[in-house]
Amino acid sequence: MTKSLKNKIFDNWIAAIIILPVNVLIVIPAILLYLTDFTFTRPNILQIVFSVITGIIGAFFAGWSMLTFKTKGNGTPAPWAPPQNFVVTGPYKYVRNPMISGVIFLLYAEFCLTKSVALFLWFLAFTFINLFYIHYVEEPQLKKRFGKPYEEYLEKVPCWIPKFF
């Protein structure tokens, strides 16, 4: 791999991380909290434990997915620099959208920790936007791109709830 190609891949990864997860998980929630004049109240221990567990699960799946895209797919999670290879290993052998599922878990953890109605609405909006986007935009594009292997993958691997057996 040439140095310029490595730099391009690295630049795409930096852009993908800054534009996608940083905005979804940090910038937009911060703006929502600011605009709603949010006042943080101390969560109880159950909320903290639940938020931490949910956040760890979300971070694990999002991170594992991104690493799998990089190592097996030779690409990024971003639509402008997608994986070059069809990825069916790692978390993708259990569920078709582990990265988005991970982000949804992280957004839910943020809501549980802050108890902010605005963050709950952002969690719902992000979830429903992705439900429609994946079904009506992403999956048809992947069918065109990868053909029969992707269609077989759709039949065998669930979209959102992992199938471990």
Domain residue extents for the chain: 3-156
C-alpha closest to that of 86 among 26, 16, 154, 11 = 154
Give the mean model confidence (pLDDT) for residues 132-139: 95
Give the mean model confidence (pLDDT) for residues 119-147: 96
Percentages of the chain per state (helix, strand, coil), in multiples of 5:
75, 0, 25
User: Given a cut of 80, is residue 103 above it in pLDDT?
Assistant: yes
Q: Considering the chain, what is the average pLDDT of its residues?
A: 89
pLDDT tens digits along 5-56:
555 656 676 777 777 888 999 999 999 999 998 888 889 999 999 999 999 9
pLDDT tens digits along 49-99:
999 999 999 999 999 998 898 889 888 777 777 888 999 999 999 999 999
Residue 6's pLDDT is 55
Q: What pTM was computed for the model?
A: 0.88
The CATH code of the domain at 3-156 is: 1.20.120.1630
Tokens of 33: 């909290």
76: number of Cβ within 10 Å: 22
Give, in order, the Cα–Cα distances in Å from 67 to each of 60, 73, 79, 120.
10, 9, 16, 28
Q: How many residues can be counted in the chain?
A: 165
Residue 130's pLDDT is 95
Residue 148's pLDDT is 96
**CB-count burial class (<10 Å; 0-12, 13-18, 19+) for 54:** buried
